[in-house]
Structure 1
Amino acid sequence: MGEAIKGRGSTGWLPGRFAVTTAHAADDGWHERDAEGEMDVLPRTQVTEERARSIISRNSSPDLPFSQTLNPYRGCEHGCSYCFARPTHAYLDLSPGLDFETRLYAKTNAPEVLRRELAKPGHQVTPISLGINTDAYQPLERRLKLTRQLIEVFAETRHPFTLITKNALIERDLDLLAPLAARNLVHVAFSITSLDNQLSAKLEPRASAPHARLRAMKALSEAGVPVGVMFAPAIPWVNDAHLEGVLEAAREAGARSAGYVLLRLPHEVAPLFRDWLATHLPDRAAHVMSTVQQLRGGKDYDSTFGSRMRGQGVYADLLERRFALARKRLGYDGERWPALDCTQFIAPRKPSPQGELF
């Protein structure tokens, strides 16, 4: 079993599935501990500049309501223990565990690459989802402002896009989002997993607290920006009891649409989450994973299209029914992602070696 690290979702360094060599941490007794038992040496966040060659990723998944995504950062300091994107750090020969939330990469040329890709004659105008793999408003954004610069490109070209975040920092960019919303070019979703601050601090230690997300949601809604809520992920016997409460609080804060996703544990996420359960909820860890496996055909995860977001079996059917009843009772719109206007796009002009006269 691992040991809780203050401000981090992972309990340690787990080698990626492509690693040739592995390292094992051991407490040699040299590090002192504070009154709460935390080690005095905590892992620091490191940021590396990355020069991206392309920025828009495309998919044809029938489970997703979008076909284009954009991520200005690799890794995420929010440190969500359940994050399905953790295995992507294995491609960098880094740990999907602690490295994913402490060794971050910033695509500092993302705005100029986006402008270049939008200028291509063959670009298909469909909404681009910003910050799907890793949160576009994670703490690093406060300093680098890459997401804000990307939104400025979308505003310049009138290109539709969506956002999903766990961070109230998005309220900073309301001056850009409100005019875009008036043109039906943006939709924002907030991921909220519970209304319990203590549980949230363990599940997603460096994300904004639930009440801060709700406050930001209300500010955006009152400014005319369409907002929705994602109860994601729904974790059996951990946060599933919060489903109706989250939907109700989000509706009061102005959310018009709602969705949910069942816990997903691909590749290294499964052992990482098992360790998180053993560390934070040892009394119910076995029960949680037993239910997860019932939902996934006896495995920790099943990536089959059509069921990977919802699961299968009695528990999955009950959760879906609860969600449908709550959404209907609270008056949410039927569509999870409202349709945006794709007819206003103005392709940016390619840079000219002679410069611009006008």
Structure 2
Amino acid sequence: MNELHQLRQDAFAPAHTADIADALVQSSGLRVEIDRRRGRGAGLNPSGRFEEERREAFDDGWQTLEELEPFKTEVQVEKPRTAITRNESPDLSFDRSINPYRGCEHGCIYCFARPTHSFMGLSPGLDFESKLFAKPDVPKLLERELSRPDYKVRAIAIGTNTDPYQPIEREWRIMRQILEVLQKANHPVAIVTKSALITRDIDILADMASKGLAKVGISVTTLDRKLARTMEPRASTPPKRLTAIKALTDAGIPTAVMVAPVIPALNDHEIERILDAGHAAGATEASYVLLRLPLEVSPLFRDWLLQNYPDRYRHVMSLVRSMRGGKDYDAEWGKRMRGAGPYAWQIGRRFEMATKRLGMVRRGLPLRDDIFLRPDGGGIQLSLL
């Protein structure tokens, strides 16, 4: 409770002291020792919201905690029934996506996909970034689905949930195989990543882009290497992401720089600098997304903020709530990506002015869907007649 005592002595307004105290009390029994989670994003590993029991690690005086091993990346094979996931969200620009992996080793503390690990009986905290699932059957399933007579072509988005180019892709190469299927079928694809590993697949992407079938978005959250290392510990460094943008654009692949997420009082002052750097690297498109804190992401992010930037906790959370109707998050369609209120409006206008000054497009040209070549079966039982 020393941290709590210190915060009470700091110059925090009384209206927010209770909020800070509550966050510390809630997380104190769940925080994992730094030596066990070094190189990870989350400091907590709480039980998933669907679990009937809640377990907490604590020191019982027998020094058992010292015997626990550090969190290591573990990969299990998942056997999905389908490759393509559909959505009907009115504020998304795509209606289908592919996720080669479940969980993400990048460990971004703000990742809105963390709560999905609860469906596996695992924690959205450290489990999300260390207990991963690979889906090696997805390329074959994809070929099968594309070969169906009733399949209608629209761009497939990849990287909208977890990063397809996270570190384990170097070994599993599932994303590479997916691209090979899409390339063969002349199927449009839009990729989002914060990993420089995507440059490995420039040969495929450049060929597809020459036909109007591929585009990429590189997320650059900050240019501050220290902040990046703390906030997204196993993602590519900011300079490597900018280098990836240059390599992609030099190869003729339409590439956008994404300021995502924008976190008030933490990285929002970098919006113009990130756009300038992305434009200098060759990015022709740009977009941004406001910080999203759904379900378990909120306590995980607040704990991280208290541990790393305690002096900004009150200011950051106050601004977040001012854009979310007084809550940590508002999932209403049309508002969840941009927020509402004066501060959200200011962020939007700054982004608009910066992109206009740079001549960057906020909505790129649509990908082609008129040269699709349906696969010849992909394992489907063909009709005898």
TM-score tier by shorter-chain length is over 0.9
Could you tell me the percent identity over the aligned residues?
50
Structure number with greater Rg is 2
For residues 111 and 308 of structure 2, what CA distance do their matches in structure 1 show? 17
Corresponding residue for residue 58 of structure 2:
26
The 8 Å contact of residues 141 and 147 in structure 1, kept in 2 or not, is answered as yes
The 8 Å contact of residues 320 and 328 in structure 2, kept in 1 or not, is answered as yes
After superposition, residues 11-50 of structure 1 pair within 5 angstroms as 11-27=43-59, 29=63, 41-50=69-78
Q: Does 1:171 align with 2:199?
A: yes
For residues 197 and 70 of structure 2, what CA distance do their matches in structure 1 show? 25
Corresponding residue for residue 372 of structure 2:
345
Corresponding residue for residue 27 of structure 2:
none
For residues 367 and 197 of structure 2, what CA distance do their matches in structure 1 show? 23
Q: Deviations over 1:237-273 (max 9, x none)?
A: 1111111110000001110110000000011001111
The gaps in structure 2 that reach 5 residues or longer are 1-23, 25-30
**Residue 6 to residue 121, structure 1, CA distance change in 2 (3 Å):** same
**What RMSD, in angstroms, separates the aligned Cα atoms of the two structures?**
1.7
Aligned mate of 2:214, from 180, 186, 192: 186
The 8 Å contact of residues 187 and 338 in structure 1, kept in 2 or not, is answered as no
For residues 380 and 369 of structure 2, what CA distance do their matches in structure 1 show? 30
Q: Deviations over 1:164-213 (max 9, x none)?
A: 00100001111111111100100000001010100000110000000001
Q: Which has the higher helix share?
A: 2
The 8 Å contact of residues 270 and 300 in structure 1, kept in 2 or not, is answered as yes
Corresponding residue for residue 7 of structure 1:
39
User: What amino acid does structure 1 have at the position aligned with 2:305?
Assistant: L
For residues 106 and 52 of structure 1, what CA distance do their matches in structure 2 show? 10
The 8 Å contact of residues 48 and 117 in structure 2, kept in 1 or not, is answered as yes
The 8 Å contact of residues 75 and 89 in structure 1, kept in 2 or not, is answered as yes
Distance apart, 1:14 and its partner CA: 1.3
User: What amino acid does structure 1 have at the position aligned with 2:48?
Assistant: G
**Residue 117 to residue 305, structure 1, CA distance change in 2 (3 Å):** same
Corresponding residue for residue 153 of structure 1:
181
Q: Does 1:319 align with 2:347?
A: yes
User: What amino acid does structure 2 have at the position aligned with 1:345?
Assistant: F
For residues 6 and 245 of structure 1, what CA distance do their matches in structure 2 show? 30
User: What amino acid does structure 1 have at the position aligned with 2:111?
Assistant: C
For residues 54 and 352 of structure 1, what CA distance do their matches in structure 2 show? 13
Partner SS state of residue 284, structure 1: helix
Distance apart, 1:41 and its partner CA: 4.0
Q: Deviations over 1:250-299 (max 9, x none)?
A: 00111011000000001100111111101111111121111111111111
Aligned mate of 2:259, from 231, 234, 250: 231
**Residue 269 to residue 54, structure 1, CA distance change in 2 (3 Å):** same
Distance apart, 1:42 and its partner CA: 2.0
After superposition, residues 219-298 of structure 1 pair within 5 angstroms as 219-298=247-326
Distance apart, 1:30 and its partner CA: 5.6
TM-score (norm 2): 0.87
For residues 313 and 48 of structure 2, what CA distance do their matches in structure 1 show? 23
**Residue 115 to residue 352, structure 1, CA distance change in 2 (3 Å):** closer
**Residue 198 to residue 179, structure 1, CA distance change in 2 (3 Å):** same
**Residue 331 to residue 353, structure 1, CA distance change in 2 (3 Å):** closer
The gaps in structure 1 that reach 5 residues or longer are 33-38
Q: Deviations over 1:277-335 (max 9, x none)?
A: 01111111121111111111111111001111111111001000000000001110241
Partner SS state of residue 300, structure 2: helix
Partner SS state of residue 310, structure 2: coil
